[in-house]
Structure 1
Amino acid sequence: MDNLEKQLICPICLEMFTKPVVILPCQHNLCRKCANDVFQASNPYLPTRSGSLTSGGRFRCPSCRHEVILDRHGVYGLQRNLLVENIIDMFKQESSSSKPAPEKKEETPMCDIHEDEKINIYCVTHGVPTCSMCKVFGAHKDCEVAPLSSIYQTKKTELSDGIAMVVGNNDRMQGIISQLEEACRAIEENSRRQKTLVCEKFDHLYSILEEKKREMSQKVTGEQEEKVNYIRGLTRKYGDHLEESCKILEMGIQTMDEPEMALFLQNTKPLLKKIEEASSAAHLDKVELGYESMDHYKVDFKKEGKALRSIDFIQDDEDEDEEDEAAGAGAEEGEGSQTVPGGAVPATSAQPSSTPQQMSSSPSAPTSTPST
């Protein structure tokens, strides 16, 4: 019987179920009044009728925390557990017929001071139950007292309301926890998305820098090839002239060995003319001093480096399309960088200028200076 009684205890009021008993979708049972109290605590803003909630809503089972969703009838739409009600009736009948008298006597507590007196009144002043002798002769003779039954019902109602309030508060806390967990997931997802966007912006900036590096390197390479080709062509000309001079020199040596004076004089005149022409290099170009220097291709990225180091997230609500247009216009005008109020530089606009001021726009052309 004791084990059966434990199974018939309501988890809200901690008393035996009172009819009608409602069965929840999770198969747990509650007194209808307790179910209504829990429902009202979980849905404080729903309309009521005659003190009872009748519109749809939801609350959690106090035994297993399963969410119970109600229709427009509220708790009155839950099914009654007639089997449990019948078991309660039989249990009460069996208890009233078989319960021994001494056990009833033991259920009534006795006064600690007057051991033969039962505790049958409640001291309102001190908030403790006591006996009649304490009220007449004892420590509570000047106190305000009330019957135990009235205080019992009041305190039981207060406890039931408190339990319902705790249940409702727990449901709200669970809702807040769910919202916080969802906020954490949203923050992580937004962070991943923004990191991806930032990386894309920087990749775009890298591609612009690589393109400018390639263009500037091509300019230097172009002038290098032009100068090297010119020097090599000049070298071939000087080589051809040297080869011709060597041939004339060989002819002159052979003529010096000619013993016949008439033949010697006959060959000397044209040979001297050839020697004079070979001795002159006026028709050959000469390289200017410093022609091999490439120092005019100087670059200075101090301004651009400062702009890159000041890159930060945009601090205002300016439209990104307008910023991109402004960045393009700044690049065409040769500006080193663009800034926004507050010292922040958008990632798309912090680019080196297309034409550094310290760099020559075109390679110097080779010059030809006739020798004197």
Structure 2
Amino acid sequence: MNLAPGFRPPPPGGAGGVAMENLEKQLICPVCLEMFSKPVVILPCQHNLCRKCASDVFQAASPVWQTRGSSGGTAGGGRFRCPSCRHEVILDRHGVFGLQRNLLVENIIDIYRQQESSRPASAKQQQLMCEEHEDERINIYCLSCETPSCSMCKVFGRHRGCEVAPLSSVYVRQKTELSDAIALLVAANDHVQAAVSQLEETCLTIQVNSQTQRERLSVNFDELVGVLEERKQQLVGGISREQDERLKQARSLLQRHRQHLEGTAALLEEAIHTMEEPHRALLIMRAESILEKMAAMARSSNVERLELGYESLSHFVIDTDDLADILKNIDFCGGEDEDEDDEAERDEDL
């Protein structure tokens, strides 16, 4: 809306004061009949209340305003009727504190109070006067020039050939459009607030569910590691038992061979000493005994050996390639289960 060159900006008051008064009427709480006190809550029926007033209504000892639990105490949730339209409002366990705040109305209240604090006390009594006709007040609106004017400007002045309308009617129309725009903005803001609340709850749920799934996954892998560790101990124990058995047999055979060598060495030493005997009779007597012992030793000297490859433990081998591939390819199976369920449902439909 353009201002004509001869139009003086309106002093505080006049139509602006009327607009502020009408705006104030839209900011009155239906319970306390005072301007909303923050925080302001919005009901599902789109009516607003001071949260304090809503709390007072909710806590009033009347079956109309609240429900009671089976034990006679006040339940966490409840219900009451909107003071403006009597629409029944269902509250969750948070009571009135679970209602959404109307931040847009709170911002409008702040702006209104700032405007009111800057207006002089006599603003409501001041009139808009025409700059060209100082004794004429602004009472018409030039639709052609889109500017306020006075009757003299229409009859004799620059707006003589223009289309005009009463300022009051234009004021009402503009006020209605502004009010409608505020209502639309408030409604849009309500939807945005609802979306914000839903998204915040969704984010929190995602975090909780993610933590739960991480814990479940850790438990699953801990169980898998436990199974592998248990099987590992079983297999390691099998190797240890096989080692003990083979070492026992090999060491037993080794002990027999060492004892044979020791007996042979003692017999050889005895034979050598006998050969050094200077008396022929004594040598002959000792030689016969030694020869018998040597013959017996020779007969028992068959060397027993372990079979070829007895020391090898190569049969204790496991093929982990396939298992390693399975572990590397471990993935979540929820999607596959859903696909199988969908296929089963389609088969049933057919």
Normalising by structure 1, we get a TM-score of 0.58
Q: Cα distance, 1:156 vs. partner?
A: 2.2
Aligned to 1:365: none
1:5-84 paired onto structure 2 within 5 Å: 13-15=22-24, 23-24=30-31, 28-29=34-35, 43=45, 59-61=48-50, 71-72=80-81, 74-75=83-84
Aligned to 1:184: 203
The separation in 1 between residues aligned to 2:271 and 2:286, in whole angstroms, is 9
What is the aligned-residue identity percentage? 36
The separation in 1 between residues aligned to 2:307 and 2:200, in whole angstroms, is 77
1:222-261 paired onto structure 2 within 5 Å: 222-261=241-280
Q: Cα distance, 1:194 vs. partner?
A: 0.7
Change (3 A) 1:10 1:190: farther
- Name the SS for the 2:84 alignment partner: helix
Change (3 A) 1:9 1:204: farther
- Name the SS for the 2:23 alignment partner: coil
Q: Which of 237, 254, 259 is residue 218 of structure 1 equivalent to?
A: 237
Q: Give a deviation string over 1:62-83, Cα, whole Å, max 9, x none.
A: xx89868785464177xxxxxx
User: Retained in 2: the 8 A contact 1:110–1:118?
Assistant: yes
The separation in 2 between residues aligned to 1:14 and 1:257, in whole angstroms, is 142
Normalising by structure 2, we get a TM-score of 0.61
For structure 1, which runs of at least 5 residues remain unmatched after alignment? 1-7, 31-37, 45-57, 78-98, 323-372
Q: Give a deviation string over 1:245-266, Cα, whole Å, max 9, x none.
A: 1332233234324445455434
1:207 aligns with 2:226: yes
- Name the SS for the 1:122 alignment partner: strand
Residues paired across the two proteins, number: 263
Q: Cα distance, 1:10 vs. partner?
A: 10
The separation in 2 between residues aligned to 1:167 and 1:179, in whole angstroms, is 18
The separation in 1 between residues aligned to 2:245 and 2:334, in whole angstroms, is 50
User: Retained in 1: the 8 A contact 2:29–2:49?
Assistant: no
Q: Cα distance, 1:181 vs. partner?
A: 1.7
Change (3 A) 1:22 1:234: closer
User: Retained in 2: the 8 A contact 1:60–1:171?
Assistant: no
The separation in 2 between residues aligned to 1:195 and 1:270, in whole angstroms, is 86
- Name the SS for the 1:14 alignment partner: helix
Q: Give a deviation string over 1:93-133, Cα, whole Å, max 9, x none.
A: xxxxxx99x995x412324x555543211223444322234
User: Retained in 2: the 8 A contact 1:12–1:164?
Assistant: no
1:191-340 paired onto structure 2 within 5 Å: 191-279=210-298, 282-314=301-333, 316-318=335-337
Choose 229-238 or 249-258, whichever is displaced more. 249-258
* AA partner of residue 22 (structure 2): C
Q: Which of 117, 124, 129 is residue 148 of structure 2 equivalent to?
A: 129
Aligned to 1:352: none
1:158 aligns with 2:211: no
User: Retained in 1: the 8 A contact 2:141–2:166?
Assistant: yes
RMSD (Å), alpha carbons: 4.0
